[in-house]
Amino acid sequence: MRPFPLVLAGSLAVSLLFLTVPVAAIFLDTSPAELVRSLGEEGALDALRLSLICSTIALGLIVLFGTPAAWLLATRRFRGRALVITLVELPLVLPPAVAGIGLLAALGPHGVFGGAIGNRLVLTTAGVVCALTFVSAPFYIRQAQAAFESLDRTWLDASRTLGATEARTFARIAIPAAGSGLLAGLALAWGRALGEFGATLMFAGSFRGITQTVPLAIYERFGTDFTGALALSAVLVGVSAALLLSVKLLSGAGWLGGAAR
Amino acid sequence: MLRVEARARLGALALDVALEVEAGRCLALAGPSGAGKTSILRVAAGLLRPEHGAVACGEEIWLDTARGIDVAPERRGCGYVFQEYALFGHLRAWQNVAYPLTGIPRRARRERAQELLERFGIGALADARPRTLSGGERQRVALARALARGPRALLLDEPLSALDARTRAAAGRELAGVLREAGVPALLVTHDFTEAALLGHEVAVVDGGRIVQRGDAARLAAEPASAFVADFTGAVVLTGVAHPIAGSATQVELDGGGVVTALDRARGPVAVSVYPWEIALAPEHAADPGSTRNHLPVEVVSITTVGNRVRVGLAAPQPLTAELSDAAVRELELQPGSRAIASWKAAATRLLPLSVHQTVSDKPS
């Protein structure tokens, strides 16, 4: 065998091993029976429920506001567009601790806009939703914008000449045609929201049943109850994998490939 | 009547055109790629707003930049057939056709779409997705969709160029029928002069964002206003009915009189095309008009000098154009009204089938 293909195969083997061993170890370290038992403990199910509810609400908000915003960015050219896009993408590269501080500074009791809403967000479930939305929205908006930009422009033109307003074109042509790209963005954003830790901890705290999502619950346990932390981690791996898989199946071969043609 | 006036700077192109088309007439916009043909359609449809311009259809004003009027594309009611057709890939054929049919119940939309597809002979494909259709089938879906709402003007962008040669002839024939039936003004964009001549009542040659000459196709070939038009017009086109004869040749009885021979095989209605520079002229009573197979008695209608070439417009009785050297014209003492014999080789004669049945009967059985 020639050396270069060997190098390629070797690199993939090393990458795969490094990336899968920690995930596999979560399931191998403890017996399935023990995992299931520790899930029954008080707090574990609460954390799961909270994670699902908060991330779902956050995703709903992101789709509701992010989709039209992404459409605007994809279809209009205006002064300062590049700046707007950069600002929208900024949370992608912010350290979670900075995001948490930022949220406190803006919406906390003594924050810029805190006077009106502060006490209703900080250390509450709504605060969790707020933190998740902040950190994961850019993942969706960026992907949605790319999906809209890669649409065949003549489809949009054709729709207009066939009597459809821009709003109807958006709903009936752009969204279905960019569907796989939008779903891909949704999966990325959801994955980010489920794993969110730093910003949530700083902005909403870690109170069982109120603001303690699964990652926070894992952190709380791992000093005292490693098996419990493993059990919750296993569930998060399962949910994340199922999410990734279902989106891949839903969007077919067009996965991450932008628009369906 | 559709009237379009537009002045706009589009990248390197300065678009500056004014044209009008009567209802039931088709104006073919012909010219090279990048000449601004598609931009004219987009201005008419409201997809491109020129810096200065006016678009009116019948009594309705769609655009008047001076008065600040700009009707949205969805309210203009243009039937636009896009290059490559722009069928919506996530919708079935019937849903594409039903897309413009709004405000009626779903069942009625489906029925109306089905009717339109039947009219184009593809009713059986109603549930098919565009990507599974052939080029010819897509073109029919696109036409059915453009006609669904009863458009006030038809805009066709290279409607035949995505088709293979065999499908193109049949589709061209069908398209001509559609244009006749629709009875609305039509603008058709093509880079192929022969297509323009066959589908347009008139041809406007577009180059560098301007209409450089407008007229019926035969006149453009015979009396080109510039060397560009002369080159662009390419072959002259005659119509007739073809019969195969012995020796794998085909004889064509030209509409209006005259018979020519070609080596292409065909049967039924055809377009005969020949390049002006393939046609030689000889005095009317020449003892030997040459060894070529096609001889037509002609009358000289016009003589136009383009650079060092001369275009001679002929009536045979269909219009024909010969391109000669200066010297040849002087030697033959040609002038409008003089008679001559036009001749060219059978091998220089192309036949383009015009009939839908042609492509069927031509297949080996």
What pLDDT does A252 receive?
A: 60
Q: CA-CA distances (angstroms) from residue B162 to B45, B85, B190, B357?
A: 22, 9, 11, 21
Prediction pTM value: 0.80
Mean pLDDT score of chain A, rounded to an integer?
88
The partner residue sitting opposite B90, judged by closest CB among A160, A165, A260, is A260
Nearest residue to B234 (alpha-carbon basis) of B203, B205, B194, B200: B194
Quote ipTM for the complex.
0.80
Q: Which residues of chain B have pLDDT under 50?
A: 356-365
Give the confidence band of A250 by pLDDT, cuts at 50, 70, 90. low
Angstrom distance (rounded) from CA B64 to CA B42: 15
What are the chain A neighbours of B88 within 8 Å (beta carbons)?
155, 158-159, 173, 177
Share of chain A above pLDDT 70, in %: 93
Name residue B30's beta-bridge partners: B190, B205
Angstrom distance (rounded) from CA A229 to CA A240: 16
Three-state DSSP at B129 gives coil
What pLDDT does A120 receive?
A: 74
> Does B84 lie at the interface with A, CB-CB under 8 angstroms?
yes
The partner residue sitting opposite A160, judged by closest CB among B74, B146, B149, is B74
- For B139-194, how does the pLDDT look when each residue is reduced to its tens digit (9 = 90+)? 999 999 999 999 999 999 999 887 887 778 778 888 888 888 889 999 999 988 88
**Cβ B78–A177 below 8 Å, yes or no?**
no
- Residues within 8 A of B (CB atoms), A 153-172 only: 154-155, 157-165, 172
Name residue B242's beta-bridge partners: B252, B268
What pLDDT does B1 receive?
A: 92
Pick A112 or B295 by higher pLDDT.
B295
* Span A194-209, average pLDDT: 91
Q: Is the pLDDT of residue A83 over 90?
A: yes
Give the confidence band of A260 by pLDDT, cuts at 50, 70, 90. very low
At B6, give phi and psi (nearest 5°): -150, 135
- For B321-364, how does the pLDDT look when each residue is reduced to its tens digit (9 = 90+)? 999 988 888 888 888 998 999 999 988 888 877 754 333 333 33
Alpha helices (H) in B23-164, listed in sequence order: 37-45, 93-98, 106-119, 135-147
Angle between helices A179-195 and A125-149 (to 10 degrees): 150
The answer to whether residues B292 and B260 touch, using CB atoms and an 8 Å cutoff, is no
The partner residue sitting opposite A163, judged by closest CB among B74, B82, B90, is B74
Instruction: Please state the separation of Cα B100 from the chain's center in Å.
Output: 27
Give the confidence band of A261 by pLDDT, cuts at 50, 70, 90. very low
Count CA atoms within 13 Å of residue B146 on its CB side: 32
Q: Is the pLDDT of residue A193 over 50?
A: yes
The partner residue sitting opposite B89, judged by closest CB among A160, A162, A260, is A260
**Cβ A162–B100 below 8 Å, yes or no?**
yes
What pLDDT does B248 receive?
A: 81
The answer to whether residues B274 and B323 touch, using CB atoms and an 8 Å cutoff, is no
**Cβ A154–B100 below 8 Å, yes or no?**
no
Q: Is the pLDDT of residue A253 over 60?
A: no
Handedness of CA B78, B84, B85, B91 (dihedral sign): negative
Angstrom distance (rounded) from CA B233 to CA B228: 9
**Cβ A162–B84 below 8 Å, yes or no?**
no
User: For chain A, first and last CA: distance in Å?
Assistant: 40
Name residue B249's beta-bridge partners: B245
Kindly give, in sequence order, each residue whose CB lies less than 8 Å from that of residue B332, ignoring residues fewer than 6 positions away. B281, B282, B283, B340
Pick A111 or A171 by higher pLDDT.
A171
And the tokens for B223? 């009396």
Kindly give, in sequence order, each residue whose CB lies less than 8 Å from that of residue A4, ignoring residues fewer than 6 positions away. none
